[in-house]
Structure 1
Amino acid sequence: MLFARWRDELPAELATHFSVGGEADGWTGPTAYVLISTALLLGLAAGWTAFVRRRYLWAAFATAGFAGGLLVQLLRANRVDEFEVVVFSPGMDLGVALAVAVVAAGAGWALTSLVPEEPPVPGQEGEDGPAADGPRLPLASGETARWSKDTGSRALTVLSVLALAAAPVTLLVATWPDALLGLLGLVIGVPGLALARVRVTVDRHGLTVRSALAPRPRVRVPLDGVEGASVREIDAVGDFGGWGYRVRAHRTGVVLRSGEALVVRRDGGREFAVTVPDARTAAALLNTLVERHGKV
């Protein structure tokens, strides 16, 4: 709407890339600007809608507010006379975008109450269902056990390394909007590489899933937060929409492939899944430890 309103005041080529000091050094045509900006906002909206739980929908509003604020500030910077230099003020303009994001997040949080509760996951059982009757690992009184296994995705490793390798080159040499590909490379490459290989551990502390390359990121489910563990065949795309750390309605997971997965039913009925070989042994030990913990 603002683009249409300011169209006659905008130059034939919009300044869309700026130096560290804020002076324009890259330009994009108006049609390309509109198409890319629209695709960016629609892509963000689709991603948040598909993969984010109801309680975090406020973050979708914040993201839209921040992105929209920057795009509007970019248009405002281009409303200059023919002989003026287009300047983008990073501090002020980012501050305005952050303020818009905060306001949008507040509106999103208030509107969340109008969104229906998420339906339960099909096949999710109560305490007397299969989760409660899951496998057990016999342990003698006073005996302890620990199970740990590394698992990873070669494809995710390769893609993450390529994304990280391409990111600095793109950011240094490309102009906007191509520079967005460099940022996208960082967004995909850093968490992708961290989760491309993980170590899954079941012991007296509960379930721990962490990057095999570093202490973080890490997901931990303590014993007193586990209601039961089972084994399930998982379709990475069909059940979780892809690979990596995934968030769906009533369930989260570290999904590196399709196939056998350890599925933990947590307090409140939520599920956490991790695809790992020998998941049956992990589930059996976890159920035994949870049972023993409950008797202490």
Structure 2
Amino acid sequence: MHRSTPRLRALAALPFVVTLAVYLVLLALRYDRLPDTLATHFGPEGGRADGFTGRTAFTAVSTGLLLALGAGWTFLVRRGSLWGAWATAGFTGVLLVLLVRDNLDATDPAQVDSPLTNLLFAGATAALLGLAGWGLTRLVPRDEPAAGTGLPDAPRLPLGAGEVAGWSRATASRPLTVLAVLALAAAPAVLLLAPRPASLLGLLGLVIGLPGLALARVRVTVDRRGLTVRSALAPRPRARIPLDEVAGANVRELDTAAVLAEFGGWGYRVRAHRTGWIVRAGETLVVRRSSGREFAVTVPDARTAAALLNTLAERHGKV
């Protein structure tokens, strides 16, 4: 993994800034030609309109979508995924521009259609911009591996030459679990009972609830493959650090203030120099990778996990 340097973040934000600027200029120039209600969703049969949104709501939602996608890519981007930021900006921007074009001067939104060529054109634009983003990665220097392994001062779990061992514990966050369940429970009611476009907020419940439930309950495993952290309810999301990338493991006690200051909150967090799967305060397993980055996960009995991981990593390095 690579650090989100200021240059990398600027390159990730650039396509969204340009896309948003072009889109807002288009809306300003064509706003009076848009109907009060726009066709915003199209069925599979001939691309006929089957979903509609008010002009003001559409402007707010589409602008917010570009801002949210841009912010997400800017803060979470890695060197190897820069192309994804450019592809996402291109695909989303083209679809929104074509949607505005298709609705211009429409007297009956139900008669608006969106041909398949719109998706093809958006996909082609995404591919071209993805290639541009991939080419720009050469402007971002690679991280240099940290010197030394850092293992000598870390805790160990004594194992004989022929002995094998594994360790696994599950942990969960009750507040995150409750919030995710409430979001999932509210989503169907909002989708079915609320008038459009407010009913679309029900989708937000699904977007929050499903990932939230998956991230709130995790299982942490240390074995011959290294460290594996995955959702306790599904095979994904999952994080894995193989033994040859482990430079050292240790234990820290994180209180609420430290969680907020170092990781910005709970859940799966990506910061400039560290990544964390933080579901609560307390005992935390911290693994330093050979790249210099840290990975942290809050889990009971983290000291045993750190000791075993150090022993297995040292043994792996001697093979």
TM-score (norm 2): 0.77
5+ residue gaps, structure 1 = none
- Cα deviation, residue 28, structure 1: 0.6
Q: How many residues align?
A: 290
Select which of 99, 102, 112 maps to 1:87.
112
Match of 1:9 among 29, 33, 37: 33
Partner Cα separation in structure 2 for residue 12 and residue 156 of structure 1: 40
* Unmatched segments (≥5 aa) in structure 2: 1-24
CA distance in 1, matches of 2:213, 2:293: 27
Higher helix share: 2
> What residue is the counterpart of 1:108 in the other structure?
133
Following superposition, the deviation at residue 19 of structure 1 comes to 5.6
Alpha-carbon contact 1:57-1:108 (below 8 Å) kept: yes
Pick from 85, 91, 98 the counterpart of residue 66 of structure 1.
Answer: 91
2:230 alignment partner in structure 1:
210
- Secondary structure of residue in 2 paired with 1:47: helix
Asked if structure 2 preserves the Cα contact closer than 8 Å seen for 1:18 and 1:25, the reply is: yes
CA distance, structure 2, for counterparts of residue 188 and residue 23 of structure 1 = 27
Structure 2: distance between partners of 1:98 and 1:171: 29
Contact 2:39 2:109 in 1 (8 A): no
Identity of aligned residues (%): 63
User: What SS does structure 2 have at the residue aligned with 1:27?
Assistant: strand
Residue identity matched to 2:26:
L
Q: CA RMSD in A?
A: 3.0
AA partner of residue 38 (structure 1) = T
Give, in whole Å, the separation in 2 of the partners of 1:268 and 1:258: 26
Superposed CA deviations along residues 39-74 of structure 1, whole A, max 9, x for unmatched, are 221222122212322432322222222222222122
The alpha carbon displacement at 1:25 in A equals 4.3
- The reply on whether 1:245 has 2:268 as its aligned counterpart is yes
- Which deviates further from its counterpart, 97-106 or 16-25? 16-25
Deviations 1:258-285 (A, max 9, x none): 3332122223223222111221111011
Tell me if the contact between 2:259 and 2:281 (Cα under 8 Å) persists in the aligned partners: yes
Distance across 2 between alignment mates of 1:20 and 1:116: 45
> Which deviates more from structure 2 when the two are superposed, residues 136-145 or residues 197-206?
136-145
CA deviation profile, 1:16-39 (whole Å, cap 9, x unmatched) = 35566532443313x333233222
Cα 1:48–1:78 change in 2 (3 A) is same
Counterpart in 2 of 1:289?
Answer: 312
